[in-house]
Amino acid sequence: MHGEYKVPGGKLVVVDVESEDGVLRQVRVAGDFFLEPDEALDAVNAALEGAPADTDAAGLAARIDAALPVGTVMYGLTSEGVGVAVRRALAHATDWTDYDWQLIHEGPQSPALHMALDEVLTAEVAAGRRPPTLRVWEWASPAVIIGSFQSLRNEVDADGAARHGVEVVRRISGGGAMFVEPGNTITYSLSVPEALVQGLSFQDSYAYLDDWVLGALGDMGIRAWYQPLNDIATDQGKIAGAAQKRIVGPGGGPGAVLHHVTMSYDIDAGKMLDVLRIGREKMSDKGTKSAKKRVDPLRRQTGLARETVIERMIESFGSRYGLTGGKVTDEELARAQELARAKFGAPQWTARVP
């Protein structure tokens, strides 16, 4: 069995391993990481050899740490990363390059339709009728998107939203509220087979699915990193928030993961504060004193037009994994339009947590 895992902010770890009579055998760890002294690699392999095959990544990391020679130095490598690579091998996880990725980047659409498209396209990936998909959104109108479990009245100032013509919609994923305006945010969705994140914890899957965009930002001169659980940050503050939803496949079989991200390009922080009820506790959680610091626009950090930033991101994804242009099919659009009307545009869903 073969497993690969790129350590967030680090290097690729590759593990080849067999499972015999419930224990790990013939363990071989490799990769483009740096490790000193040389015998430390033998210690890693020996620590994993004979381990119970159901040991989780943390348990495998503990075995490695206990076996490493005194003074071992790891660069681009962590014991936890090796443990995750082992779990991915045992789970027969796939890799980004195992798929033919499709790009969808169409014209502006309503907030409710965007919510519906996420659900429909991810369900199609789960059913095997659609390839893994990167969808870049364009917004037809300003909106607040609240998380699946958030209280509507606690998160949104209804008077402020009405005053600024901001539509409020609820998405199917958890997480916090996002304020968007056409031309001022960059939003994208990844609809991926569950196999791509097999062997990863929920938290690790965020870092794994965000890794490509960190590279894309780096190519534009922005040093960005994943900040648990679901943020992307730079030394000037948070620039993006991610959320996920698992969708079960037909008959309860292997499903798909929706991972969507909203990035701040040029947010009007004053208007955002009129619409969102951002409490002191939430602000203090982020280690900031003002919303203006939390919403640090990509425009200022890149000096590039929004369209150029999107173009660079798409090019970066394609150069890593391949990407073919596609579109929402007529059948998918019809289903999404009906879902937007009956669910995402309906007050029963939006106010399901009052």
Instruction: Read off the pLDDT of residues 42-61 as tens digits, 9 standing for 90 and up.
Output: 999 999 999 999 999 999 99
Single-letter amino acid code for the residue at 25: R
CA dihedral 228, 233, 236, 239 (to 10 degrees): -130
Backbone angles phi, psi at 70, to 5 degrees: -60, 135
Q: Which stretches in the chain have pLDDT values below 70?
A: 279-296
**pTM of the model as a whole:** 0.90
The answer to whether 253 touches 127, Cβ cutoff 8 Å, is: no
The answer to whether 194 touches 256, Cβ cutoff 8 Å, is: yes
Q: In the numeric block, which tokens belong to residue 161? A: 């939203």
Query: pLDDT value at position 296?
Result: 54
What are the C-alpha distances in Å from 245 to residues 43, 48, 119, 122, 160? Answer: 38, 33, 9, 9, 29
- Which residues in 46-106 belong to E strands, given as ranges? 73-75, 102-105
Query: pLDDT value at position 294?
Result: 44
Query: pLDDT value at position 238?
Result: 87
Give the number of C-alpha atoms closer than 13 A to the C-alpha of residue 315, restricted to the C-beta side: 9
- Of the chain, the percentage scoring pLDDT greater than 70 comes to 95
The SS3 assignment for 43 reads helix
Dist. CA 154–CA 349, nearest whole Å: 16
Q: Is 287 exposed, middle or buried (0-12, 13-18, 19+ CB in 10 A)?
A: exposed
Query: pLDDT value at position 282?
Result: 53
Quickly list DSSP for 122-152. Answer: HHHHHTTSS--EEEE--BSS-EEEE-TT--H
Longest dimension (CA), the chain: 66
